[in-house]
Each structure stands twice: as structure tokens, then as C-alpha cells.
Amino acid sequence: MVLNDVTEISIPLQYSDEEDGTDYPNGDATSESLSSLHNKKILTSCTIDVWCWLISEEPTGPALSNLLNGFQTACQYGIDSEGCAHSIPDKEVFSKILTFVLSEADGIFRRRLGISDSCSVEGFMKLESTSTWKTVRPLVKSYLRSCLFLLNQVTDCQLLVFVLSRLRASILFFVAFPSLIRRFIKITVHLWVTGEESLSLSSFVLLRGIASQLNSDCLENCLSKTYKAFIAHCKYIQPTNMKHFEFLKDSIVELILWTLKSAFRKFSRLCSTWQIY
């Protein structure tokens, strides 16, 4: 997918960037980085092409970190960014950065970690003490946080749906960042309840993925936040949005059923442990 004409920025939700207490690689400004703002690096189309080629040839090299810093700038500030070390001069560069990172980042991280698309949460958690994960971890976190910034600011429906679809592939990585999971659920629920048809559907598919792949706390969080958002949205029901209302209601029912199935599986495992069967 190639993203074009996506520059409009708004801020539908607010959250603190300091919730998890961890910075991006080469991220938040220090005294050293503040001085570098006077020598802002303009990310040209040629620069991005070279970085993308280098990443394809050598994913463990520094080009990935450089591109993720550019991705951070694109997600937070968009085009003609001010107050940061990188500048994105036009839509072409903006589109190239987002298209490559969103399309390739998950696969690059998985290849570096040696895990498949079907890797389980349990299998992934075994990697958390390895040196490979400690190297890749800040890059993964930078990517996930930047995506959340993008979801929270951009208004283009096509881009939002694309970002959600790519984050669905990376749900597993959120296990390592509990505070990002909470932020992730909050933003996704907001898009689910307020978005138009395709965006609302994509948001719910993502919520369902979070509920099914991550732990029971995430499932309960999804159910709680969707229910509260649904109740609040009921105040604004109009004949013209009854179809959307029905979809939201069906979504809640599906999450409740998933909660019951999850509880039954836990009970079955407990019974098996007690050798009741």
C-alpha cells in the first residue's frame, strides 16, 4: 500500500507521553539533542530510499534506527515538522517513510528475533531475557509508540485502517509493554465507537485480536472500555446511525461471549489440574 495525500492532523484523544517512562531510541530531547535542532536534518526522498535499501540488505545495521527516528517525526509532527531533529519536507517523503515502516517493521523484528507469525505469547516471553530481545526491544517500542501517536492524530480513514491492520500483526509485541497496551486499547475503542463503517470494523477486529491473544486482564479491559464507550454513545442515537449502533451492540455481545469462553477454558484447565475428570 502506498499512502498519498495524508497530511491532515488533529488530536482526538490526549495522553501523556511519559506514562511508561521510556524514551524512543535517540528520542526525547536532551541538552545534546536540543543543540542539534539548530542543524536540523532534512530527510530527502533519496535519503529514505537509501535507508530502506540498507535495511533490506542489513536489517541489523544503524539504518533501521535512523528510519524509526524519521518515522517518529512523521507520526508526531507530520510534514514541515518543527522543534525536532528531523524535518520531513513534503508528502512524498512522508508517504515513503510510513509505507515502508508500516509494511516492513513487523517482519524485520520477527526475523531478527527468529520468531514466526504464529509465535505464541508464551514463546515470545521466553525471549525477554535474551540479548537479542534487549537489542531489538527499544526499536520495537519506538515503532509501537509512534504508531499510537499516528492513530491519535491523523484523521485520514484509509491511513487509520492501514495502521490498525499493521498493528494487528504486531499485537504480540505489546506483551512486553503493559502501559502501551492500555493506551492501545483506549485509542482503538475510541476509533471503534466514533469511526465510520470500515474504521469501526477494523478497530473491532483489532480489539478482538487483543482480547484473544493477550491475557485475561486485556480481555477485561477491552470489555470494560467498549461497554462504557457504547453506553456513552447511546446518548446520541439517531435514525441515520442505527446501523452503526447495531454493529456496536453486536461487538459488545461478541466480546462478552469471548469472555465466557475464556473463563470456561480457565475452569477446564483448573479441573484438569485437580484431576476432577
CA 18 to chain centre: 17
Q: Are 25 and 120 part of one and the same domain?
A: yes
Higher pLDDT, 97 or 212: 97
More confident: 266 or 52:
52
Q: Is the pLDDT of residue 73 over 80?
A: yes
Q: CB–CB of 103/166 below 8 Å? A: yes
158: containing domain: 1-173
The whole-number pLDDT of residue 94 equals 92
The pLDDT-based confidence of 9 (bands split at 50, 70, 90) is: very low
- First CA to last CA distance, the chain: 51
Residue with cell 470500515: 198
State how far the Cα of 138 lies from the Cα of 100, in Å rounded to an integer: 19
Q: Are 164 and 3 in contact (CB under 8 A)?
A: no
| 200 and 259 together in one domain | yes
Q: Which tens digit of pLDDT belongs to each residue from 136-172?
A: 999 999 999 999 999 988 889 999 999 999 999 999 9
Do 48 and 15 lie in a common domain? Answer: yes
Query: Are 118 and 231 in a shared domain?
Result: no
Average pLDDT over the chain, rounded to whole? 81
Q: Which of 173, 201, 228 is at the close of a domain?
A: 173
* Span 234-264, pLDDT tens digits: 877 777 778 888 999 999 988 888 777 665 5
CB 226 within 8 A of CB 255: yes
CA dihedral of 232, 156, 180, 22, whole degrees rounded to 10: -130
**Helix residue spans in the chain (DSSP H):** 31-36, 45-57, 63-77, 91-113, 121-125, 131-153, 157-169, 178-194, 197-213, 216-233, 242-273
- The domain boundary, picked from 173, 199, 219, lies at 173
Q: What is the pTM of this model?
A: 0.80
Per-residue pLDDT at 86: 76
Between CA 259 and CA 233 the distance in angstroms is 22
Residue 237 pLDDT: 73
Mean pLDDT of 119-124: 89
Residue 177: CB atoms within 10 Å: 18
pLDDT in tens, 201-237: 999 999 988 888 887 778 888 888 998 998 888 877 7
**Residue 264 pLDDT:** 52
Measured from the Cβ of residue 261, the count of other Cβ atoms closer than 10 Å reads 11
Same domain, 47 and 105: yes
**Residue 104 and residue 186 in one domain:** no
Per-residue pLDDT, averaged over 82-100, amounts to 84
pLDDT greater at residue 2 or residue 185: 185
Mean pLDDT computed over 44-55: 94
Residues 120 and 157 in one domain: yes
**pLDDT of 196 above 80:** yes
Q: Residue 2 above 80 pLDDT? A: no
Q: Are residues 42 and 155 in the same domain?
A: yes
Domain count, the chain: 2
Q: How confident is residue 39, by pLDDT bands cut at 50, 70 and 90?
A: low
How many other C-beta atoms are found inside a 10 Å radius of the C-beta of residue 126? Answer: 12
Domain boundary among 123, 142, 173: 173
